[in-house]
Structure 1
Amino acid sequence: MDGLTEAKLRALAGERSFERGLAYVDEVSGVEFGDGWIRASVRGTERYEVELLLRGRRKPAGACDCPYGQEGNFCKHLVALGLTVIAQDADLPRRRKAARDRTRGLDAWLTGMSRDDLLALVREEMAEDRNLRKRLELRAASARGDVAGIRSRIRELLDSGPFARYGYVEYADAHAYADQAAQAVDAIRSVTASGRAADSIALAREAIGMLAAAVESVDDSDGRFGEIGAGLAAAHHETCRAAGPDLVELAHWLVTHALDDVADLTDIDPLDYEDLLGEQGMAALRRYAVEAWQTNRTGWAEKHLMQRLAKSGRDIDTVIAVHAADLAPNGHTHLLIARELDAAGRPVEALEWAERGIRETEDLATVDTALIDHLADRYTRTDRPADTVTLRRDHFAARRTLLTYQQLRAAAIAAACWPTEREKALARLRDDAARADTRGDRVLVDVLLDDKDIDAAWRTADEHGAHDGQWLTLADRSRPTRPADALAVYLRLAARPTRETGNRAYEQLVSLLLGIRDGHRRLSTPDDFTAYVTDLRAAQKRKRNLMRLMDDHGLSGA
């Protein structure tokens, strides 16, 4: 059957979808064979319509209206249909021939009908099929240029009322509503094709507004309405290109639309119209954008549009003006301006803005650290090590953390002044510790550990305290020189995980036991460790995972 096999289905779908498809074979119904395609319904979370395309020597393909299939994937429902078809493989050639014969027979019958009989048939079918009637009404309205009729039909297509329960379209009904709403795109394009592109511009804009209003009350978990919005945006662009609209009016609409919440639905980019707007239209576009920004200088949409237009015209001064009109108090906007100026080859101005950002930040503890890093990098590049040290020192003074200490150390080492700077920095941290500033004394332990000044770190921890993580680090690093002190830490820390369960606690306890064993070994008291482990195992014997983990590490006791 055109090379369709279980192996090919598995390759198309992937192992997971193929295995899941096996469970849906019994849910396949209404299999319909055509010449080159096979369609059916498959019941899953809801009933889905699936279609396999048989393309001769090329790989089979398929489509399904389930969420996963709509993303272009060969889903489990297609696998189920494929497996059903394979099971009927012996009968398939006859079915395909029958499909071709039916198609030829239908064409011949319709061709042989008189005009009156054909009209009667169409009217009869329209009476039975409401959707067919509406589709034909739309085509008729397009053919005779009935814009009012088409507008009325588009409003019907976008009306969520028939699908809404208690004023909201739930997920189970959203799919059907999306299918109906998507027809609005075809309706607009039919007006364009009939030679009335100017009318279709108005219809596209009206449809965009209606869709935006409707989607607020729809569960669009599958993102279908973003696709419809993109379709309406494409239709609008096509109609504008076909109609040759008033360029100034188009520019005004594009700016208004870009600043409206509906812009998120259509993702219309005014710059996509640049070749259509030409010099006159782009000038109007920039003028309207400036007016909107001047009215609301802090609006995100207004600033974003202004910056994009300015960058497209390589107008760096306008980009800076937009940023400068709404400077963040933490220096972030100054950093953006500095980066723009650097990229434009204006390093002197860039440096001035970066330095201004530091000056205008009221509290360096809240400054955007990326601005500090940017300015320090510029000082380093221009051989100003003393300025780098001053910047890092001021930042450390405002925000005393291990990171700011490390950054000060790197700058001071490069400037050959670290011993002096270190004493000043440690003095600040000791003052914090003396004032019982918990943050300060904890940072002091961290920086002393980072400097590998273990004895000073231990003294600080003894005097001002430390958290368990710091004590553990102290014990690990001090074990060779202070085994008794390290052992005391391990024994204290081991008490808590012995009261807990779970593999994480067991792993933590075993790690501490290894430290305890090494401490006793260094102190030449291995018997004490054996007694300790023996007692521990007796108390923890019901924790089988712990016992197994201890055995794996040779912690067996007596």
Structure 2
Amino acid sequence: MLSLTEANIKALAGPRSFERGRGYLDAVTGIEVGDGWVTATVHGTERYEVELILDGPDGLTGECDCPYGLEGNFCKHLVALGLTVLAQRERLPQQRQAARSRAQDLDGWLSALSKDELLALVREQVGEDRQLRRRLELRAASARGDLAGVRGRIRELLDIGPFAQYGYVEYADARAYAEQTGQAVAAIGALTGSGRAADAITMAREAMRQLVEALESVDDSDGWLGQVGTDLADAHLDACRAARPDPEELARWLVGHVLGDYDSLTDIDPLDYEDVLGERGMTALRELAVEAWRGNRTGWAEKYLMERLAKAGGDVDAVIAVHAADLSPNGHTHLLIARELDTARRPDEALRWAERGVRETRDLAAVDTALVDYLCERYAQAGRLPYAVALRRDHFGVRLSLLAYQQLRAAARAADCWQGEREGALALLRADAGRRQPGWYGGPVLVDALLDDKDGEAAWEAAADSGADDRQWLALADHTRAERPADALGVYLRLAEPLTTQTGNAVYEQLVGLLLNIRDCHRRLGTPGEFTAYVTALRTAQKRKRNLLRLMDEHGL
């Protein structure tokens, strides 16, 4: 109970979910208090089942079946339940004690029943609870060694028929279907637990095939079946560890599974089976992986499997061979190879691969920028600053972006040659600005570059000659307001005009920001009366926009 405090609830939920949860206090119904837990129903967009664990190993925790809660978050519905329980905190100790007493009474009553009475009770529940009946049927079939019966029941549990309309399981029914398939996974685990691990392996593999086929006809937006697939993979691994199948057969199955159509659901990692495969199985696994990769060197699954096995075995050259067999045209693969070689402490080879990546890129404008960054960093570390400048210059020449300009400037300043490089770079940007056509998105990079250089006068001239977009004009006005208040005032007035015809708090905040700048310009120009007249007229025209007027009042406008 000590962990159930408003502060703890807010810390778990975060400010946003906490505040939203306050609005759901009237939506909490059906509260049931147990010994250490509280459950309830919270009515939101749908009806959600919520459970708070009051004093578990991790302190206060909770679960909710809303989409946000299913991701492991302490959602607004949990907040609502927590705050509701807090409001009744004085009753909680008695309620927990009552729940503890009820549990003890129930256990005592069950213990006193005869075998026949217990059987009658179980039969009654089986008749009323279909899920319980299915679980017990599976246990019975498993206990009597009826593999055909277990297989048939598992196939029924994985069948989408009872949940599908027109052959497809809609979102609203996906959870119920996933819960039913979870029973199949539990049955497979029970086979292993009852000493029939070899049968569990067979059942798990058959279930994987059937579940992948079913997945194509289920709206699994919330990932319910994905979790079932993970549990099924775990059940298969547990069965293999118990049954110890033939290592070479297991290796063949693993490679076929990973390279086939079924791994998208289970995401099995063959390396998890290393203790089961042993030396003989791992050798077979590597041989089969190499054979598959040689047959399809550009296949994603083949490359990934080879790379995983090579890295696990510490074989850097094999990793490089996998990448080198399918080099990307933009140099990205060369960069991956360079980083692998760096990790292996082979820097000279890494540098050669990186340089090769730039050299072999057909279009430098499309080169992986991370490769350019990597090379320039290596050149700087080695004191080869002119090489870094040259690469940045070539890259800027085909990109003509503000970022490429900034990177060229940094490299040239480090090499103490920025003045000369700047003239050439600006000449390229002026030529680019002259080629721009009306209607192009965004203003010329030339204006951004000059602003970034803190050369406001040159930026104004460039904007006047080549044009600029509103973002750039605003930046120009902000940057040079002290030196050119009249010019800045014209910009602010022009940008404010269209905002007066729009609504919304975000618009109002933007407009008030411009009004503050307009006031500053008038102050610098010595014309405060003009600003007063402007604001008075604006307030009259916008008198119906109460939020705008309130915001203006807060800023003294």
What's the offset of the Cα at 1:398? 0.6
8 Å contact kept, 1:145–1:191: no
Query: What's the counterpart of residue 323 of structure 2?
Result: 323
Shift of 1:367: 1.4
SS of match in other structure, 2:166: coil
2:198 pairs with 1:198: yes
Distance 1:72 1:151, change over 3 A: farther
Root mean square deviation, CA, Å = 4.2
- Taking the aligned partners of 1:390 and 1:355, their CA distance within structure 2 comes to 13
Q: Within 2, Cα distance between the matches of 1:336 and 1:553?
A: 54
Shift of residue 44 of structure 1? 5.2
Could you report, residue by residue, the CA deviation over 1:410-446 in whole angstroms, capped at 9, with x for unpaired residues? Answer: 1111112222111111222223334456789822222
Which amino acid in 2 is paired with 1:370? A
**Within 1, Cα distance between the matches of 2:508 and 2:66?**
46
Q: 1:280 to 1:462 in 2, by over 3 A?
A: same
* Change in 2 beyond 3 A, CA 1:240/1:397: same
What residue identity is the alignment partner of 1:310? A
Shift of the 307–498 alpha-carbon distance from structure 1 to 2, 3 Å rule, reads: same
Question: How far has the Cα of 1:265 moved from its partner?
Answer: 2.1
Where does residue 447 of structure 1 map in the other structure?
449
Give yes or no for contact 2:385–2:414 (8 Å, CA) kept in 1: yes
Give the AA of the match of 1:24.
V
Larger deviation, residues 155-164 vs 82-91: 82-91
Q: State whether structure 2 residue 481 is matched by structure 1 residue 479.
A: yes
- Kept in 2, the 8 Å contact 1:191–1:197? The answer is yes
- Structure label with greater radius of gyration: 1
Please, which moves more after superposition, 173-182 or 458-467? 173-182
Partner of 1:160: 160
- Aligned to 2:268, the other structure's residue is in SS state coil
1:470-515 alpha-carbon deviations (Å, 9 max, x no partner): 2233333333333443334344444333444444444444444444
| 3-state SS in 1 of match to 2:153 | helix
The answer as to whether partners of 1:63 and 1:70 remain within 8 angstroms in 2 is no
Report SS of the residue matched to 2:383. Answer: coil
* Deviation of 1:11 (Å): 5.9
Distance 1:82-1:246 versus aligned 2 partners, 3 A rule: farther
CA distance in structure 2 between the partners assigned to 1:66 and 1:450 by the alignment: 48
Which residue is equivalent to 1:274?
274
CA distance in 2 between counterparts of 1:230 and 1:163 reads 22
Which SS does the other structure have where 1:495 is aligned?
helix
Gaps of 5+ in 2: none
Decide whether the 8 Å contact of 2:27 with 2:42 is kept in 1. no
Alignment pair present for 1:258 and 2:262: no
Correspondences of 1:536-547 after superposition (within 5 Å)? 536-547=538-549
Residue by residue over 1:273-321, the C-alpha shift from the partner in whole angstroms, topping out at 9 and shown as x without a partner, is: 1122122111111122222222332222222221111111111111112
Alpha-carbon distance between aligned partners in 1 of 2:189 and 2:268, rounded to the nearest angstrom: 17
Q: Following the alignment from structure 2 to structure 1, what is the Cα–Cα distance between the partners of residues 249 and 541?
A: 84
Cα drift, residue 449 of structure 1: 2.0
1:247 & 1:57 partners in 2: Cα distance? 40
Map of 1:461 onto structure 2: 463
Q: Is the 8 A contact 1:41 1:47 kept in 2?
A: no
1:11-160 matches, cutoff 5 A = 20=24, 23-25=27-29, 27=30, 68=69, 75=78, 100=104, 103-111=107-115, 134-160=134-160
Deviation at 1:64, TM superposition (A): 7.4
Is the alpha carbon distance of 1:513 and 1:363 closer, same or farther for their aligned partners in structure 2, counting shifts above 3 Å? Answer: same
Question: Deviations 1:212-234 (Å, cap 9, x if unpaired)?
Answer: 22233233344332332222212
Cα distance, 1:7 vs structure 2: 6.6
* CA shift for structure 1 position 254: 1.0
Give the whole-Å Cα distance in 2 for the aligned partners of 1:173 and 1:366: 46
1:291 corresponds in structure 2 to: 291
1:145-544 alignment to 2 at 5 Å? 145-436=145-436, 442-544=444-546
Distance 1:445 1:77, change over 3 A: closer
The SS at the match of 2:345 is coil
Residues in 2 aligned to 1:521 and 1:9: alpha-carbon distance in whole angstroms: 48
Structure 1 residues 163 and 393, CA gap change in structure 2 (3 angstroms): same
**CA offset digits 1:336-361 (Å, max 9, x no partner):** 11111111111111111111111122
For residues 374-414 of structure 1, the C-alpha deviation after alignment (integer angstroms, 9 at most, x for no partner) is 11001000110110110011011111112111111111111
Residue identity in the other structure for 1:330: N
In the TM superposition, residue 148 of structure 1 has moved relative to its aligned partner by 1.9
Q: 1:284 to 1:423 in 2, by over 3 A?
A: same
Q: Number of residues paired by the alignment?
A: 544
Q: Which moved further from structure 2: 57-66 or 313-322?
A: 57-66
Give the whole-Å Cα distance in 2 for the aligned partners of 1:372 and 1:200. 52
Range 516-525 or range 230-239, more displaced = 516-525
CA contact (8 A) 1:5 1:86 kept: no
Q: Deviations over 1:135-192 (max 9, x none)?
A: 4443333233222222122212222212222222334433433333222223223333
TM-score (normalised: structure 2):
0.82
Residue 288 to residue 18, structure 1, CA distance change in 2 (3 Å): farther
Amino acid at match of 1:460: A
Distance 1:256 1:432, change over 3 A: same
Structure 2 CA distance, aligned partners of 1:58 and 1:479? 57
SS of the residue corresponding to residue 242 of structure 1 reads helix
- Pairwise CA distance, 1:524: 3.9
TM-score, with structure 1 as normaliser: 0.82
SS in 2 for 1:314: coil
Deviation track 1:32-77 (CA, whole Å, cap 9, x = no partner) reads 99xx699998585888888899999998998777774895979489
Shift in Å, 1:250: 0.5
**Residue aligned with 2:289, SS:** helix
SS of the equivalent of 2:114 reads helix
Q: CA deviation at 1:91?
A: 9.2
Residues 99-142 of structure 1, C-alpha deviation per residue, up to 9 Å, x if partnerless?
6455445444424x5xxx98898778767776665544433332
Q: Secondary structure at the match of 1:253?
A: helix
- CA 1:60–1:108: 2 relative to 1, 3 Å: farther
Change (3 A) 1:195 1:375: same
How has the CA–CA distance of structure 1 residues 447 and 7 changed in structure 2, closer, same or farther, with 3 Å as cutoff? closer
Pair 431,43 (structure 1): closer, same or farther in 2 beyond 3 Å: closer
Looking at structure 2, the residues matched to 478 and 9 of structure 1 have their Cα atoms a distance apart, in angstroms, of: 48
Cα distance in 1 for partners of 2:62, 2:137 equals: 31
Over the matched positions of the two proteins, sequence identity in percent amounts to 60
Query: 1:326 Cα deviation (Å)?
Result: 1.9
Structure-2 separation of matches of 1:389 and 1:9: 55
Contact 1:6 1:83 survives alignment (8 Å): no
